Amino acid sequence: MKEELMQKGVHRRRTKELKSGVKVEYECSYKKKLQCDYQMYSFTANVEGASFELYESGGHVCQSAEFRHGLKREQRTAVDLTMELRSGTGTSTFVCDLLKARNDAVPEKKQLTNALAYAKRKKAGPPVRSTADFRETISSYFSPLTPDVGLDEVVCPVVEADSAERLFAFFTTRPLLLNLSHAEADVLQTDGTYKLIYEGNTVLTLAVSDKVRDCTQ
């Protein structure tokens, strides 16, 4: 059954408990991207020892339809062929040469860069980087806090990588730091939740107040 579903390119949509048996509905894995209306369903009767029956409706359009977003089919084919023939620098140029040789449209630079990055990650797996590598990257992209830095420029005055498991980086701007010079501005709260929560790491801002209402974060 599992091999049949993989061959048909479908995934389970829902299961219905009927009086006469169990009906499981399947739909094309590319239904949203390609608007494919191909469907399957299996039925198993409520009889001891009964086998399931498969039924189909509609037809696959995945081999001819275009994706609603991203590269066209011939552009995706050129990217896949490039990944089989070569890797490393010059892959984007190679893809463009393949498309031009076949008189196909060349995608925008940003689209092609994203497609190649995804193809490389899918082939070789995610890149392995250490905290020291991240520290060097941050230092190269963000300058330290100096009097010459513009008001709207994001700076990184503190970046530390004490070990292979620990990396601390603090990003701010001069206007944000100047807010601390205002009256009663004695609390600085930093927010680093978005990317951490996106990766599954929860961050909480904790404030503890004692009996005399002295708050410590």
Please count the other Cβ atoms lying within 10 Å of the Cβ belonging to residue 181: 7
Contact 1, 52 (CB under 8 A): yes
Can you give the pLDDT at residue 170? Answer: 81
Note the pLDDT tens digit of each residue in 22-62: 888 888 887 777 677 788 888 888 877 777 778 888 777 77
Can you give the pLDDT at residue 28? Answer: 84
